[in-house]
Chains A and B, each alone.
Chain A
Amino acid sequence: MSLPLVQISDISKSFGDTHALAPTSLDIGEGGEFVSLVGPSGCGKSTLLHIVGGLVAPSAGTVSISGEPLRGPRDDTSIVFQESTALPWRTVQRNAEFALESKGVAKKERQRRALELIDLVGLRGFERHYPGQLSGGMRHRIDLARALSTEPDLLLADEPFGALDEQTRLALGFELLRVISTTNCSVIFVTHSIVESVILSDRVLVMSARPGRIIDDIRVEIPRPRTPEIVGSPEVGRLVDRIWGQLRTESDKNMRIGRGTAA
């Protein structure tokens, strides 16, 4: 196997007295590996993603991407967030161009690439619409178009469909898989939906309650391309059960901590 794309060695993070992330080490593969992080709320999965995105510095430990130590945001990493970041004063087209524009790509070229991506994420015909005229799911498609326009090798997704309803979320998940399969981009996907993590990923990392550490690393051996029919399959059911079993113990711990502090 080739060198992993992301090498996380012993990183931890504290915010003041809050120990958000216990020392964590992790390798994430190159060439389109899709890794999900699931865990109870507040377990540090978003923190881990922010560290890999270069937006937060770890309290200890190092992150290397493509063999280079990470010091801040990098050009070949794109991020999509839970809340859509489509800028309301820009049209769909201009939003899709935003990343290329900030990287200084010439106008003609960025218009062409933005259009390709708009087409790929299924927003053709809406180029001149403003985000305020679109549904939540469509706004997330704008984010995806913008994120992929720079041809990143790593896509970080922080609960990107978390604010959407279940059926839109699953539909967009499969859409994401379809779009990603046309690229060579690896994905780290933070989610609180166990089903979503299983049906989308090659690997699911289960995190413990705070301070977060990785308690299970599950390979999902369901062949690609994956279609919506797999949602009810026994393999998905078995893995969801396994993850749910682990998370139940962790959320119980979380609740006990909650009650302990409240008392």
Chain B
Amino acid sequence: MTAVADPASTRRHTSSRRAIPKYLGTARKTVLGMRPGVWAGIVFVVLGALIEAATRFGLVDRATLLPMTEIVGRATGLLLSESFLTQTLVPTLQLILISFVLAVVLGVLIAYGLWRSSFFRRAVEPYLDLYYVLPTFALYPILVLLIGAGPVSILILSVTFSLVVVATNTFVGFDSVPRAVLELSASLRLKHGAYLRKVLLPNAVPAMAVGARLALVYSIVMVLATQFILSTEGLGHFISFAYDNYDVADMYAGVFITCLIALVGSLVLTGVERRLNRHRRSA
């Protein structure tokens, strides 16, 4: 060490800043005294206000975008109209729900098959790996030819698109039972059914929840997109019809309601997940 003072190094040594990397620190709970949920609300309000301002002051013309208040107002009007509810919203929600439930049930069954038989797994794995690379959507014309453009076609497409993500995630959960727990189960001579109920399924719950969450998103996307392209009813068709007829208010109201469906569905799933995973919350 030299006795000559290097101004830079002196500054470094006398600086009161800590040398502990920031990524080691604990995450802050609030910013400006507000929790993340509050900030999410603020972002929504600010974005809404920007849209409102841009449209009110003529920065964007009314054929492209409408003021947020008008969108929300039109959406509220639709949600209060009985014909919209019975003919458009409820059938769409039913399709999404049925698609989601079928995707979860079938996905878990496929995962169980994959887990039971390594032969089946090796035979099916290349297809699963490639699955989301293939445009499932391209199957729709074929289904329309075979079954017609009704809700059954939409369901088949939506379920086949959503179930694979449940299957692959659930399989990861099934496959993650620690070796020692397997041996413990064997040493307790657990029968197959008991092993399934008491070890395999509970162990897979977190991974299944990830799959289910994606399956919900895929179901919403698939049902609406299919209705959008080739259907005569449903929320997707409603948006597409409004778009084709320059009915900007209806179109944005439809998009807004779609966002609400996704938000509510996601919140419900988060609630269920929290309940199932309550043991993960540490003391």
Question: Contact flags (1/0) for A68-101 with B, using CB distance below 8 Å?
Answer: 0000110101110111110111110000001101
Q: Is A53 an interface residue when CB atoms closer than 8 A count as contact? A: yes
CB of B187 within 8 A of CB of A79, answer yes
- Chain B residues with CB under 8 Å of A99's CB are 188
CB of B205 within 8 A of CB of A79, answer no
Max chain B CB contacts within 10 Å: which of A87, A90, A103?
A: A87
CB of A103 within 8 A of CB of B188, answer yes
- Chain A residues with CB under 8 Å of B279's CB are 88-91, 130-132
Q: Is B13 an interface residue when CB atoms closer than 8 A count as contact? A: no
Contact of B187 among A73, A82, A88, A133 (CB under 8 A): A73
CB of A87 within 8 A of CB of B202, answer yes
- Chain B residues with CB under 8 Å of A167's CB are none
CB of A102 within 8 A of CB of B202, answer no
CA distance A204 to B161 in the complex (A): 60
Interface of B is mostly: helix
Given A79-B187, A89-B205: A102 touches B198 (CB 8 Å cut-off)? yes
Chain B residues 157 to 186 lying within 8 A of chain A, measured CB to CB, are: 178-181, 183-184, 186
CA distance A132 to B202 in the complex (A): 15
Max chain B CB contacts within 10 Å: which of A77, A78, A91, A130?
A: A130
CA distance A78 to B183 in the complex (A): 11
Given A53-B187, A89-B205, A102-B198: A83 touches B280 (CB 8 Å cut-off)? no
Given A83-B178, A85-B178, A89-B205: A132 touches B280 (CB 8 Å cut-off)? yes
Chain B residues 179 to 238 lying within 8 A of chain A, measured CB to CB, are: 179-181, 183-184, 186-190, 194, 198-199, 202-203, 205
- Chain A residues with CB under 8 Å of B94's CB are none
Q: Is A54 an interface residue when CB atoms closer than 8 A count as contact? A: yes
A→B interface (CB under 8 Å)? 50, 53-55, 72-73, 75, 77-79, 81-85, 87-91, 98-99, 101-103, 129-133
Ordered by A's residue number, 29 sampled pairs between the chains whose C-beta atoms are within 8 Å are: A50-B183, A54-B187, A55-B186, A72-B189, A73-B186, A73-B187, A77-B187, A78-B187, A79-B187, A81-B184, A82-B180, A83-B179, A83-B180, A84-B180, A85-B184, A87-B181, A87-B203, A88-B279, A89-B202, A89-B205, A89-B279, A98-B188, A101-B198, A102-B188, A102-B189, A102-B190, A130-B279, A132-B280, A132-B282
